[in-house]
Chains A and B, each alone.
Chain A
Amino acid sequence: MGRGARLGIFSSLLAVAVGLVVFVSMAFLRSEPPTIDFAAGHTAGQPVDMTLQTVGAIGYGAHSTWVSYLTKAPNGKWVHTTLWDLPANTRINVTLYEYDGGSPLRNPQIGAVYGTLGNVEILNGKPVSLIDATQGNGVAHTFSVPTLGINVPLYAVDGNAKNFCNVPAPCPLSTAHNVIQFSFVTPKAAGQYPWQCFVPCGLGYLYGNGGPMQTISYMDGFLKVVS
């Protein structure tokens, strides 16, 4: 085999290796759920309305038993994602339908509402600044953005309710749920701000911290703030 042929083989192998690396990097490691764009067409000074829901089990896919958040896209369709493009320095009005059962909190501090406008959430029409998780159905999840100092506990539904949601997500309004509303203001600086649930809710995992608690599109995600 001549030098040119060897050079050709080596170059080809190198090209295949580089292609493989690019493929793995772009197609596998960077694969992520879709991002819902709430910033497109936004008028400065106007608030953005966002609708979410939390379910006890997503009901389909590779992790059908995992607890999860869902997001309602501007076209009205529910999407299994926790990534949102949001305009900077804008009031975000969130309406959240909570369909999961709950428990007392290991850390009662997580039951406090802070970082929202007025440091309150509206639970089924009533303003609340603290949820005592030892009472009633307990707390199911939280919506927490540590870097923005936001924490919103989500009061749980009765896990033994006859109309408890047992169908694949999204859950219909005819099943047991609580409605939680709150508002917050996005930061002026563009960037990606992680948010997550602080209630260990990974069923089947030690301490409940595995699985959905560590996976984007289930119980954590990003506020992708754009200027």
Chain B
Amino acid sequence: MTTGTHQRRKERIDRGIKVRTEGIYALMSWRELVYLIMPRFVIIVGLLVAPLMIPDMYWQRVISIVCIYALLALSFDFLAHQVGLVSLGGAFFVGVGGYLSAVLNSVFGFAALLSIAVATLIGGIVCTLLLLPCLPLRGVYFAIVTLMYPLFMARAIEALDILGGTDGIMGIDSLPSAWMEQYFIIGMLLLFLFGMRRLVNTDLGLVLRAVKDNDQAVRASGMNITSYKALAVFIASAIGCFAGASLVHIYMWAGISTFALDFSVLPIAATVIGGSGTLVGPVIGCLILVPVSELLRDFGTLRIVFYSLILLAFVVFRSEGLMVYGQRKYHQIERWKKI
């Protein structure tokens, strides 16, 4: 071929330690072990050290908020990309968990940690039962219904004037100490993150992915898809409720704003930016988005404009997300080759 123009293509080669499939490696040296452990290590140590590095009270609070959003994003990512149920109503989980924990703490006098734990479990069950009738719905329809739930709950609380009405529930206990508050949430985030990564690689995770890809085939194999979906919704909503309950105990207040749009939109944006389906991506997305949105707090609603534009750009032009991009760069050698 003597066309004159040098055509070339990009060649991607996996690094040597990767054996056949995703997640199975043949390690030959300490260097390779470090290479493999490094990304996990950076995230774990980074999250644990962050509060020590930043002595400012305000930014320590921001770290807790990052973790709460990260939990929500994790639950969204799990539900959307591992089970195929796109829930636009993350705020619903936050609200249910938050109000439950608030009531348990202020009315029944449970200790803060106990009420968070109980609210997580009961909240998961309540959300699953409420969403149970919509589980047969697919795609857009499930998304629309879940978008309506938090709006509905907020309006219902407003209209019926229950649970403190528009004032909310005040005087909720905070966690025993500031350090405990900080590390409790960071620890739980790491626990849920790595637990979730294990979960999606078990048989259960396989069935859930099958439900996403071809639910009729799962049905034909004699498995009840609704019960699997219900189980997945329980896991995701329990994580969301845990985030909500912790949030309420951090702010020592539960109100209608726990059903606010922010809790639905920001986790989705973080997931899209971080890389959908990777589970770590959403956490990284939150680590970027939440502090940026704190920095932009002075600009008022402009920050919502800002992150919705970022979200739009990522959805339309770079739908793979940072994590998938980073993984590719880290695990593969790229070079140009002449054809």
Q: Do A and B come from one complex?
A: no
